[in-house]
Structure 1
Amino acid sequence: MPAPALGQIVLVPADPAVNNGADTAPAIITRVWNDRIVNVRVLLDSDAIQWRTSVTYADSLDDIEYTHAWTWPPQV
């Protein structure tokens, strides 16, 4: 797992009601606390604005129903 850094794009769980039906959204890291905990600005597919603080790394967002998790996007 790479170390998170300021400005990197990660994925977070999202409420489909404010994200045009999608349950995942990209987010930009705005603060790194350590290798697992970061603050992010969520880029929703709507005009809603979300900031999340102290979100914790998860290997996958599958079956995660809370908002304080992040993971790396799939590598292409």
Structure 2
Amino acid sequence: MSHSQKPSIGRIVHVPMPPAANNGSDTAAAIVTRVDEDEETINVRIFADSTASPQEWRTSLTHADELAYDPDDTTSLYRWTWPPRA
């Protein structure tokens, strides 16, 4: 794992989102719902900025230092990162 923090259930992370499903933003907040034993992959519930879609659930996300939503690469949706410090 390339980051010093460890994911745990209930922590907030950022995930890539299609902007059309997230009020124009390509990043959404998500809450960790499961951490695999190896601490390399997590499951999340996504909180998109939209009333049109229900809270999405994604599984087996891996950590990335930076997120980049790519509409031509569905694997880009299965990454997560820590929110930047303000």
Same fold (TM > 0.5): yes
What's the CA shift for 1:29? 0.1
Q: Which is higher, the Rg of structure 1 or of structure 2?
A: 2
For structure 2, list consecutive stretches of 5 or more residues without a partner in the other structure.
71-75
Question: In the alignment, what sits opposite 1:69?
Answer: 79
Which segments of structure 1 move beyond 4 Å, counting only runs of 4 or more? none
**Aligned pair partner of 2:60 in 29, 39, 54:** 54
> How many Å separate the matches in 2 of 1:60 and 1:28?
18
Aligned length: 75
What's the CA shift for 1:75? 1.4
Higher helix share: 2
Question: In the alignment, what sits opposite 2:73?
Answer: none
One-letter identity of the residue aligned with 1:9:
I
One-letter identity of the residue aligned with 2:58:
R
> How many Å separate the matches in 1 of 2:42 and 2:80?
9
> How many Å separate the matches in 2 of 1:64 and 1:16?
9
Measured on the aligned residues, the alpha-carbon RMSD in Å equals 1.1
Give the TM-score taking structure 2 as reference length. Answer: 0.81
SS of the residue 2:77 aligns to = coil
Question: In the alignment, what sits opposite 1:44?
Answer: 48
Change (3 A) 1:54 1:16: same
For structure 1, list consecutive stretches of 5 or more residues without a partner in the other structure.
none
Give the TM-score taking structure 1 as reference length. Answer: 0.91
